[in-house]
């Protein structure tokens, strides 16, 4: 497994990560979330061996992951990292980029491997297109396939779908995470998008103030959010009598102690997100119909 013990890292004497300890099993998908600047991307770079630790250790199985003080070349053979900036060769084709580091001694196997990965990232039709002609989202998909070419044991992904439009994002997520599970590739993803987590991640780490604020399954953290920061990742929420209540947990009834005045309704597709006034503070709840401004409503909390 990946074992991280008491990991601390400072950048220019400024603490970025403090005393992080966690394990990731082979084939497990760990999602790392948190606000911008919380250290998500830095954690991935530290796990890659791009920086030297100020404190702590990182082991993959029995092999220690060390920083540039110990390695001339950053990154171990069993680990691949895909950043938000893609390191691709612009003047060769998509297929050539994916297979660039595969052996030419086994040309037929190389061809089959590239074809397999083109299918995973849905780029088969663009196999012979030069990378310089691709969109940002297409380049991101090439980078993902290229990272998988030599079958890494660990894949580190930094906002892996950030450049990909919604028309491709859903199917690509399913293809990629199903492929990683099938091949038992350990995956650690830094993301701000709950759709990268729900339905896919085995565990979820929440970073805040340079530390781990919460660590559990997505299901547990969704149903029992420990802090407002955790709840905010999953959707609109309210704090009512010191309890965290999601917008979808509120229902309109004929009468209750929770009396609100409607301010605005936002169309969300199969429901409206309604903003209301509760004692001078905004409160949000979901409703099947648009509600008129200034209308008085009564709400109850359901679990």
Instruction: Quote the tokens at residue 234.
Output: 């999953």
Using pLDDT thresholds of 50, 70 and 90, give the confidence band for residue 177. very high
Instruction: Give the integer Cα–Cα distance in Å for 279 and 271.
Output: 25
Give the fold, CATH level 3, of 2-228: Rossmann fold (3.40.50)
User: Which segments of the chain belong to CATH 2.40.50.140?
Assistant: 236-301
Using pLDDT thresholds of 50, 70 and 90, give the confidence band for residue 11. confident
- Average pLDDT over all residues of the chain: 93
Q: For residue range 208-251, what is the model confidence (pLDDT) as tens digits?
A: 999 999 999 999 999 999 899 999 999 999 999 999 999 999 99
Q: Identify the CA nearest to 234 among candidates 201, 269, 193.
A: 193
**Alpha helices (H) in the chain, listed in sequence order:** 40-48, 94-98, 107-120, 136-148, 166-182, 218-223, 228-234
Q: Which residue has the higher pLDDT, 6 or 83?
A: 6
User: Which segments of the chain belong to CATH 3.40.50.300?
Assistant: 2-228
Calculate mean pLDDT across residues 137-162: 93
Q: For residue range 97-121, what is the model confidence (pLDDT) as tens digits?
A: 999 888 878 888 999 999 999 999 9
**CATH number belonging to the domain at 236-301, selected among 3.30.70.420, 2.60.40.1080, 2.40.37.10, 2.40.50.140:** 2.40.50.140
Calculate mean pLDDT across residues 183-201: 94
Q: Where are the beta strands (DSSP E) in the chain?
A: 2-11, 14-24, 29-33, 55-60, 63-64, 79-82, 154-158, 186-190, 203-208, 211-216, 237-240, 243-246, 250-253, 258-267, 272-278, 281-287, 296-301
Instruction: Give the integer Cα–Cα distance in Å for 251 and 193.
Output: 26
* 294 DSSP assignment: T
Calculate mean pLDDT across residues 66-85: 84
Q: What is the pLDDT of residue 267?
A: 97
Q: For residue range 14-53, what is the model confidence (pLDDT) as tens digits?
A: 889 999 999 999 999 999 999 988 999 999 999 999 999 9
97 sits in the region (left: phi over 0; alpha: psi -120 to 50; else beta) called alpha
* Residues above pLDDT 90, as percent of the chain: 82
Using pLDDT thresholds of 50, 70 and 90, give the confidence band for residue 84. confident
What does DSSP say about strands 55-60 and 2-11: parallel, antiparallel, or unpaired?
A: antiparallel
Residue found by looking up tokens 């082991």 in the block: 59
């Amino acid at each position: 497994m990946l074992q991280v013990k008491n990991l601390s890292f400072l950048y220019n004497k400024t603490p970025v990560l403090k005393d992080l300890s966690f394990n990731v099993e082979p084939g497990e998908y760990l999602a790392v979330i948190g606000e911008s600047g919380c250290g998500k991307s830095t954690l991935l770079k530290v796990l890659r061996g791009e920086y030297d630790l100020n404190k702590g250790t990182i082991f993959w199985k029995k092999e220690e992951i060390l920083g540039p003080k110990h390695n001339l070349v950053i990154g171990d053979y069993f680990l691949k990292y895909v950043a938000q900036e893609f390191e691709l060769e612009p003047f060769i084709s998509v297929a050539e980029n994916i297979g660039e580091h595969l052996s030419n001694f086994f040309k037929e196997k190389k061809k089959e491997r590239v074809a397999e990965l083109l299918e995973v990232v849905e780029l088969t039709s663009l196999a012979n297109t030069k990378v310089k002609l691709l969109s940002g989202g297409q380049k991101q998909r090439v980078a993902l396939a290229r990272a998988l070419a030599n079958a890494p044991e660990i894949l580190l992904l930094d906002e892996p779908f950030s450049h990909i439009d919604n028309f491709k994002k859903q199917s690509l997520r399913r293809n990629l995470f199903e492929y990683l599970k099938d091949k038992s590739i350990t995956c650690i993803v830094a993301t701000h998008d709950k759709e990268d987590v729900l339905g896919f991640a085995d565990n979820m780490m929440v970073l805040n103030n340079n530390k781990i604020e919460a660590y559990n399954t997505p299901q547990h953290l969704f149903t029992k959010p420990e802090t407002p920061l955790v709840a905010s990742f999953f959707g609109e929420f309210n704090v009512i009598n010191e309890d965290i209540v999601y917008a979808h947990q509120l229902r309109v009834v004929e009468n209750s102690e929770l009396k609100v005045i409607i301010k605005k309704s936002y169309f969300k597709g199969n429901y409206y997100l309604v903003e209301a006034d509760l004692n001078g503070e905004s409160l949000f709840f979901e409703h099947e119909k648009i509600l008129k401004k200034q209308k008085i409503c009564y709400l109850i909390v359901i679990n």
